[in-house]
């Protein structure tokens, strides 16, 4: 047996080698333990993320370059009804709605080229229903090469539903806007039209595309108004001026025709309160304006003609009154001064002249009063006077007529009737006309009664009651019109002009009072009027104010 191995040198070397081997073994074991630890950490990390991914409501997926799912989380089951194992290793295209596939493929190409644009498409669920999906994805790189796509799919059914509801709502509103016969218009901050209804387009003659997105002022306003309108609009947007709720303005239609529009406007603001523009609704009022102008012109002409007529009547009646007063005056003098030398015929003739001249004077006075009323020149000249005195005065003035007519005339005044602040001549004229009529339209043997009372709400109320011929219902409505007479025939029994009641009504109205009549044919009439005890211009210190 050789003894080489036992040489001291060799022995030393073999000891070194075995030491190294054991160190190496230790290292290997250490590395194996580290590897085991790393694997555990990796497993834990993977478990952690898988658990997280599995709890997501949205689908996380990976597909390879053949379009096969290499990973998908369990949310796919909730969204589509397919299980994870059904889907894994199958091509995604089989789940996409065929109509959306070409667009989706084009968009995937862009993703692979590095664009990260989200896209939307429809997926067919296991039960055939449709799901709307929103996807964001990125290319997966390994060793600088694209090996697939990672992405997230979100079910946007609710969002789509809201969008659909909104669209339906918008379509419905659009229909309303299209039906109304006005222009509905939105002008944005840049003076451009952002919305117009169909009817609006029809009215101004432009198509929607010719007007939407174009400057409203430049397109539809006459040159003379453009600059001012733009400046106004800018002031409104900047808050310098408040928006006018209603304006009228000109508009040039596409055919060049100029029309007048009435605009109602409101400011449109966003959620933050920032002004986005103006909503306007416009109605073509060209015809109405023309009619208004024509009406104003016609009214002015009519008023002019009326004024001329009234002035003429006032002048002519005034001219009549002077000679009439002369005739009445001289015939009275003749009767009084020559009564001894006149024979009975002369006296009768002179008396007839006086009666006829008085009637004519009454007529002339009525016409003069009416022309004053129509010309608006008749004014109240009020003073305080004692009503019982005025009533008695009218009564005694007409007593002769009543006696001639064989009609009894009486007065019945309430205790509370005393002073009133009114136009005395007009008050007496009202009473005169009513009592005169009552006597005139009451056959012989009848009676006429004047009564007066002061009522809390109405002031002074005066009534003239007769037992005369009465008035039919149909005629009651027309009595107060000028020149109206129930019997207008030439053969009528009763004289008159048809102006008495018109004057009564106007004078009462001038006093802020009311006039009314109750009557039945053949059963007499009651004509009443009420006037306030005072008038707005009444001086402070007076019997009346002291009394109240």
330 binds ligand ADP (CB under 6 A): no
Between residues 251 and 503, which has the closer beta carbon with respect to ligand ADP? Answer: 503
Q: Beta strands 59-64 and 408-413: pairing type?
A: unpaired
496 binds ligand ADP (CB under 6 A): yes
Residues 6+ positions from 511 with CB-CB distance below 8 Å: 380, 422, 423, 426, 427, 531, 532, 535
Of 96, 74, 101, the C-alpha closest to 85 is 74
* Closest distance to ligand ADP from the beta carbon of 469 (Å): 5
**Phi and psi of 386, rounded to 5°?**
-95, 115
* Closest distance to ligand ADP from the beta carbon of 503 (Å): 8
* Closest distance to ligand ADP from the beta carbon of 315 (Å): 23
Q: How far apart, in Å, are the Cα atoms of 53 and each of 16, 46, 62? A: 55, 10, 13
Question: Binding-site residue total for ligand ADP (CB under 6 A)?
Answer: 21
Between residues 237 and 508, which has the closer beta carbon with respect to ligand ADP? Answer: 508
Per-residue x/- mask for ligand ADP, residues 374 to 413, rule CB under 6 A? ----------------------------------------
**What residues numbered 506-535 form the site for ligand ADP, per CB under 6 A?**
525
SS3 state at 516: strand
**In b/e form, how buried is each residue of 324-334, taking b as 16+ CB within 10 angstroms?**
beebbeebeeb
Between residues 121 and 502, which has the closer beta carbon with respect to ligand ADP? Answer: 502
* Closest distance to ligand ADP from the beta carbon of 282 (Å): 51
On the 0-12 / 13-18 / 19+ scale of CB atoms within 10 A, 250 is middle
Between residues 194 and 447, which has the closer beta carbon with respect to ligand ADP? Answer: 447
**Phi and psi of 529, rounded to 5°?**
-145, 150
* Closest distance to ligand ADP from the beta carbon of 436 (Å): 8
282 binds ligand ADP (CB under 6 A): no
67 binds ligand ADP (CB under 6 A): no
With CB under 6 A as the contact rule, the residue among 211, 450, 454, 499 that binds ligand ADP is 499
With CB under 6 A as the contact rule, the residue among 71, 349, 386, 484 that binds ligand ADP is 484
Per-residue x/- mask for ligand ADP, residues 427 to 446, rule CB under 6 A? ------x---xx--x-----
Q: Which range in 63-71, 217-225, 289-297, 479-487 contacts ligand ADP by CB under 6 A?
A: 479-487
User: Using an 8 Å Cβ cutoff, are 525 and 516 in contact?
Assistant: no
Per-residue x/- mask for ligand ADP, residues 444 to 473, rule CB under 6 A? ----------------------x-xx-x--
**Phi and psi of 117, rounded to 5°?**
-95, 130
Beta-bridged to residue 60, according to DSSP, are 152
Of 110, 60, 65, the C-alpha closest to 84 is 60
Alpha carbons 151 and 63: distance in angstroms, whole number: 9
Alpha carbons 168 and 161: distance in angstroms, whole number: 10
User: Using an 8 Å Cβ cutoff, are 66 and 51 in contact?
Assistant: no
Between residues 76 and 450, which has the closer beta carbon with respect to ligand ADP? Answer: 450
498 binds ligand ADP (CB under 6 A): yes
Binding site for ligand ADP (CB under 6 A): 433, 437-438, 441, 466, 468-469, 471, 479, 484-487, 496-502, 525
């Amino acid at each position: 047996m050789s003894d080489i191995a036992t040489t001291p040198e060799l022995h030393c070397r073999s000891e070194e080698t075995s030491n190294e081997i054991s160190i190496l073994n230790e290292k290997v074991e250490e590395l194996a333990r580290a590897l085991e630890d790393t694997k555990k950490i990796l497993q834990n990390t993977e478990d952690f993320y898988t658990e997280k991914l599995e709890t997501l409501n949205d689908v996380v997926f990976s597909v390879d370059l053949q379009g096969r799912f290499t990973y998908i989380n369990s949310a796919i089951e909730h969204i589509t009804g397919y299980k994870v194992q059904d889907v894994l290793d199958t091509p995604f295209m089989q789940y996409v709605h065929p109509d959306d596939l070409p667009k989706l493929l084009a968009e995937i190409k862009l993703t692979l080229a590095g664009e990260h644009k989200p896209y939307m498409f429809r997926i067919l669920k296991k039960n055939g229903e449709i799901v709307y999906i929103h996807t964001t994805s990125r290319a997966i790189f390994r060793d600088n090469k694209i090996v697939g796509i990672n992405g997230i799919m979100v079910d946007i059914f609710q969002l789509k539903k809201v969008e659909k509801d909104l669209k339906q709502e918008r379509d419905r509103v659009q229909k309303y806007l299209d039906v109304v016969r006005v222009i509905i218009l939105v002008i944005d901050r840049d003076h451009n039209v952002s919305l117009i209804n169909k009817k609006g387009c029809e009215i101004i003659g432009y198509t929607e595309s010719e007007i939407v997105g174009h400057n409203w002022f430049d397109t539809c306003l006459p040159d003379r108004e453009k600059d001012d309108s733009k400046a106004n609009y800018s002031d409104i947007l900047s808050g310098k001026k408040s928006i006018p709720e209603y304006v009228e303005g000109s508009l040039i239609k596409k055919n060049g025709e100029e029309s007048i529009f009435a605009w109602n406007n409101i400011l449109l603001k966003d959620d933050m309160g920032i002004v986005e523009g103006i909503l306007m609704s416009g109605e073509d009022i060209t015809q109405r304006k023309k009619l208004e102008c024509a009406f104003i012109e016609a009214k002015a002409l009519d008023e002019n003609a009326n004024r001329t007529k009234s002035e003429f009547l006032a002048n002519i009646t005034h001219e009549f009154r002077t000679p009439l007063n002369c005739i009445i005056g001289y015939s009275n003098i003749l009767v009084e001064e020559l009564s001894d030398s006149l024979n009975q015929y002369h006296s009768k003739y002179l008396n007839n002249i006086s009666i006829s001249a008085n009637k004519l004077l009454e007529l002339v006075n009525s016409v003069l009063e009416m022309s004053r009323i129509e010309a608006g020149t008749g004014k109240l000249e009020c003073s305080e006077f004692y009503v019982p005195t005025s009533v008695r005065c009218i009564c005694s003035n007409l007593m002769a007529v009543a006696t001639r007519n064989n009609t009894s005339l009486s007065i019945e005044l309430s205790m509370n009737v005393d002073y009133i602040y009114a136009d005395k001549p007009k008050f007496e004229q009202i009473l005169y006309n009513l009592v005169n009529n009552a006597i005139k339209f009451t056959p012989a043997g009848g009676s006429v009664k004047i009564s007066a009372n002061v009522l809390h709400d109405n002031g002074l109320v005066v009534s003239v009651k007769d037992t005369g011929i009465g008035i039919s219902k149909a005629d009651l409505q027309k009595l107060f019109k000028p020149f109206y007479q129930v019997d207008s025939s030439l053969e009528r029994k009763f004289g008159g002009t048809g102006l008495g009641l018109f004057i009564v009504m106007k004078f009462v109205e001038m006093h802020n009072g009311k006039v009314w009549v109750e009557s039945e044919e053949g059963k007499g009439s009651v004509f009443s009027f009420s006037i306030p005890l005072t008038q707005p211009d009444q001086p402070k210190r007076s019997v009346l104010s002291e009394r109240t």
